[in-house]
Structure 1
Amino acid sequence: MEVFLECLNYVGPASRAGAFEIVYDEVIEQSACISDGTVFSSAINKIKDKDLRQRWYLYTRNLAKLSSEDRVPVQLMKFGDKTARVPAEISSEVVVFFPKWLSFGGVKLFKSKDLMLVESVMQSECPIYNVIDVENFIGMWPQFEASPKHKKIGYTMNGVYISPMSLSDNDAQAALLLSIDYQGERFVRFKSVIYRFLRTHMDRDIYHGFEIKSTECPISV
């Protein structure tokens, strides 16, 4: 549970700002998914750490959107391995293309980073990014990497003005999570300033960023 809450804490500000949506299927709380057969909600209420319990309900009731009651039969399997299938019923809202899941473990299947979901009726397949730890979760999101070119204060080099990046690395990461993708670049208004993020590594989801004027931001953004 601590890992689950740490993951949600990481993306909490971006979720509150509407950058994406967290869907929580509360049916899990009535499931006997603990290794000794204990119903999950009972296990939560037995946790002695009051702050941990409160944060669980804060995130799952206030931060996340409760899933609909419309449920569909599915089969889960490790990506690329169709021999071992686990039947289940899940909310139709989480059957979307390339969803990110936070798994609770319990069975060997959910320790795999890449899962495949097969909708039982139509047999349509949906790849799933499955979270198995905090490091794995963080790696699923755009990452900020400071560029030595963009300093705290803007400056001119060889007659060209170099825009500043005045944010701390932590604030820049928060801004990046809030940003909107536009033709491979990302833009965001953060603390009353507009920032532009460019991909630093073409084969990885890592960006550097800098301040821009409102006139430099695409109108559609």
Structure 2
Amino acid sequence: MINGLREWADRYRGRGKFTPVGVTFHWFMAAAVLYQLVSGWAMQRYLAGPEKLEAYRLHSEIGMTLLLFGALRLLWRLMVPGPINDADNAGWRSKLAYATEGLFYALFVILPLSGWTLWSAIQPARPLSLLGLVTVPAMPFRDISPEWQYWLLYVSEIVHVGAVIILAPLVLLHTIAALKHHFWDRDDVLEGILPEVPDNQWHPGGPNYSRPGESSHPPS
């Protein structure tokens, strides 16, 4: 099965493209991350009450969805590696790109788990819903002392806020780097993660993306 998936993926990888599955993972998670950053900032301005608690619940549930999709995306990347493109050229830029990717995956674990801990430490703790289909119970903090509950709340909040402080500029730098690849370096990095769109523009810095059967040679 894995060999069959890799053969299918090679149709895209050979053109410097991520598969449709990889593209879907990327843009779904990108949208969710942006929503989480905005909603996390906005809900701090709510007054204490049912509205703020509901905002925390929705924020936590989307965070758990990010944890699930982050794990699925990592599993997919292990089974079906991404394409080799201009971001893989030897040098510090390539190492930085891979380090950034690893940091994103780490944050996709740290942020949801610290958020789940925060939600579970607020008593009475309530279950969360994953994609509206699966009930995720609160962590078992109900029977521990109030002092320990407060300590967990305090530590998980520090971890969560610290991870957000890392994530926000990382998203910005990642976006700037992608735009630099496309408009300044004029290579194939950004196009590799975009949905299937025809591109008639030749890129001096790298191969031109084209659909199967289309010419990828520079114009004469």
Both proteins in one fold, TM over 0.5: no
Instruction: Name the TM-score, length of structure 1 as normaliser.
Output: 0.25
Larger RCO (alpha carbons 8 Å, 6+ apart): 2
Give the strand-richer structure, 1 or 2. Answer: 1
